[in-house]
Structures are given as structure tokens and as C-alpha cells.
Amino acid sequence: MITEPAIFEEYRIKVGPMIDKYGGRYLTKGNAHQFPEGGHWEPQRVVVIEFPDQHSLAAWHN
């Protein structure tokens, strides 16, 4: 849950270029997702990022 929208907006603006720098790309992001199996998980926001390899992921994360 986003409790401080202004801080989240700062993060949102900065994180995209950081993900790009390490070769990442968004597979999905937002709040209009449906989960067909299990139906009990109802997140407010889902973000899935793909990186070309473990090294790129680790470099981004660190």
C-alpha cells in the first residue's frame, strides 16, 4: 500500500532510468491485474521486471 504518494512519485520518476541502465524492462506494472487461480490475493499494485541475466539483476539491486 502506498502511504506517502509524494515519496512514491519521487521513486517512480527515478527508478525507470535505473532499471534501463542495467538492461531491465517492465513486463507488467500497474493496478489492473487479474489473477485467475486462487483468487484470494488482491494486491493494490504489481510490478514485474525482467533483467537479461543474474549479473544485471545483482548490479541493479546493489
Residue 11: predicted pLDDT: 92
Residue 31: predicted pLDDT: 72
Give a yes or no: residue 39 inside a domain: no
Give a yes or no: residue 38 inside a domain: no
Is 29 in contact with 47 (CB distance < 8 Å)? yes
Residue 38: predicted pLDDT: 65
pTM above 0.75, yes or no: no
Structural domains in the chain (count) = 1
49: domain range?
5-33+44-61
Residue 55: predicted pLDDT: 98
Residue ranges of the chain with pLDDT lower than 70? Answer: 32-36, 38-41
Q: What are the residues facing 28 on neighbouring strands?
A: 48
Residue 16: predicted pLDDT: 94
